[in-house]
Chain A
Amino acid sequence: MEGFLSTYGAAIVQMALAGVLALSLYLPLMAGQLSLASPGFYAVGGYVAALLSTQVFTGYPNGAYPIPLIALEMVVAGAISALFALIIGIPSLRLRGIYLALATIAFVEVLRVFALNQPWLGGAVGIYNIPQPFFSATRVEYLVLALPLLVGAALFVARLERSRIGRAFVALREDELAASAVGIRPTYYKVLAFTLGAILAGMAGALNAHILNTWNARQGTFDLAILILAYVLVGGSRTFLGPIIGGAFLVALPEIILREVAGTPGLNPAIAAFLRDGRLILFGVLIAVSVFFFPYGLITPNLFKRRRKPPVAPLEATKATPKVSRGEL
């Protein structure tokens, strides 16, 4: 146990955080919006925690930083992320599909460059010596905060899916025009889904700033956006469990490969090097494979439903009913 935790403790905490980040992308996706802005809000959350804990809540010796203060920072980070989300969401969520994805990538990039050039954010070095509540090599103690965050986020999304607002999100994803024809206001609910996602990302960032002990412009970049997207696409984009399992799996996988496989004695050094450094390539392949074979991801709502035959056989004509966009209607 001791050995296992010292090897995997940090990874277990990161698995939980990956689930939260994946849910932050899943929320706008529920409303049909492919946003890659989560790393931006994650970065904002991290800076909020870094600034608060190094400049406002000072005077606690390292190793004794109060856990409730971290929880408070997470709340503040969530609120500030929500504010950012409203400011950038209202104009950008009028964009569709790939244009929205590009706009959100641009947001992440602008934030990164901004942070890099701000002395009060520590410039390129960032903010370091972020105080920790534990003296810990493994950081596994951070589960005290990471697990409630993940469970809270999961319960939130699970309950949301079965509520009026969650159904409005899904209606927009399925057919925006039909949703508006039954009185659902598209922009409002898209911005809402985006903002809820931003809050989760901001909270995850705040917590990770403490875990990593330092925060800089390398946190929350485009690379992370691709990782989070992989969590959701591989895990599943049609039920809240998909992103959580996808996140846990894809964080654990490279750790296991790295420690158990790449270290195998006698392994060809080239392969070992690839296993060590080719993580993003591996993820790219995983995304491609899962999108191709499992368009809704590995975990789908049907896994949890009792199998039953549709009482009416599907007609060819039905399947061929074309979906037309607003312009063509």
Chain B
Amino acid sequence: MSAETVLEVRNITRRFGGLYAVDNVSFEVQRGEIFGLIGPNGAGKTTLFNVITGMTPPTHGELFYEGKNITNKRPHEIAKLGVGRTFQNIRLFGTLTALENVMIARHIHTKSSVMAGVLGLPPAPQEERAVRQRAMQLLELVGLADAAETQARNFSYGDQRRLEIARALALEPKLLLLDEPAAGMNQNEKGVLSGFIRSVREQFDLTIVLIEHHVPLVMGLCDRIAVLNFGQLIALGAPEAVQNDPAVIEAYLGD
């Protein structure tokens, strides 16, 4: 494992009954990479994200984040270490406003107690102001600043995805996992998103792992790509190499 390895997935298996959703998968993600995770429907991509973020315990295998074993850590602990994520089936705090959604994600960067918050004692007022300001900046970044007071559930599909990214960024993650961020977006929006993902990587010094079905987007955006099929890792490498890999072509075109 090189010093620049941010995430190491080591022999991870996740079984659901007799089904191997993720089957003995190993790979490493390097700092600053945009790492693509692709594969046909049901290949185990989302399950792998859930395992990495502590939401689904692995059946076998180990996970290392920045050299630390995080295999049995709880989701909130993994988030605290700097792993942010979005969800394929968008999970916003629906009845809360866009602003509140993002403010909530500043939780680990604030520390006011119950009493400080209720009585308005330091550091609560200062924190509150800073959190609001930071959340507004992030909404601006994803182009939702003028809808800050709108309930999250009233946004369009694409805007909800953007809001989820803003919320994930509010955590100040070092590793960001995006589960199909372009789903539900049109061609134009997908192009914009691609540029956006690249620019947040620069701006926030991020390492990004991205699940995406849309092949041109993945090929254009990712530094390396891992391909899952029936839970197994069948290819790993640069986009051109993966694209021409017979096993990958077989998985996508075969029966």
Contacts and interface: CB of A to CB of B under 8 A. Distances in A.
Interface string A144-175: 00000000000110011011111110110011
Given A183-B79, A329-B46, A167 B89 contact: no
Nearest to A327: B56
Contact of B118 (A156, A180, A184): A156
19 contacts: A160-B118, A164-B131, A165-B113, A170-B96, A178-B87, A180-B55, A181-B75, A181-B87, A181-B91, A183-B76, A184-B104, A184-B107, A185-B76, A315-B157, A317-B157, A318-B160, A321-B89, A321-B90, A329-B55
Interface of A: 155-156, 159-160, 162-168, 170-171, 174-175, 177-186, 192, 196, 238, 308, 310-315, 317-319, 321-324, 326, 329
A164 B75 contact: no
A76 to B, nearest CB: 19
A171 B104 contact: yes
Interface residues of B, number: 56
Nearest to B82: A183
Nearest to A324: B89
A52 to B, nearest CB: 25
A222 B150 CA distance: 40
A170 B93 CA distance: 9
Contact of A182 (B104, B128, B146): B104
A192 B150 CA distance: 29
A164 B117 contact: yes
Given A164-B124, A183-B80, A329 B89 contact: yes
Given A164-B112, A324-B89, A184 B76 contact: yes
Contact of B114 (A182, A183, A192): A192
B138 to A, nearest CB: 12
A43 to B, nearest CB: 25
A164 B110 contact: yes
Interface string B89-118: 111111110001001110110101110011
Nearest to B93: A174
B191 interface: no
Contacts of A167: 100, 103-104, 107
A181 B81 CA distance: 11
Contact of B91 (A162, A177, A196): A177
B154 interface: yes
Given A180-B74, A182-B104, A323-B91, 7 more contacts: A156-B118, A160-B118, A183-B107, A184-B104, A314-B155, A315-B157, A329-B50
Contacts of A165: 112-114, 117
The 4 closest A-B pairs by CB, nearest first: A163-B117, A174-B93, A183-B108, A180-B75
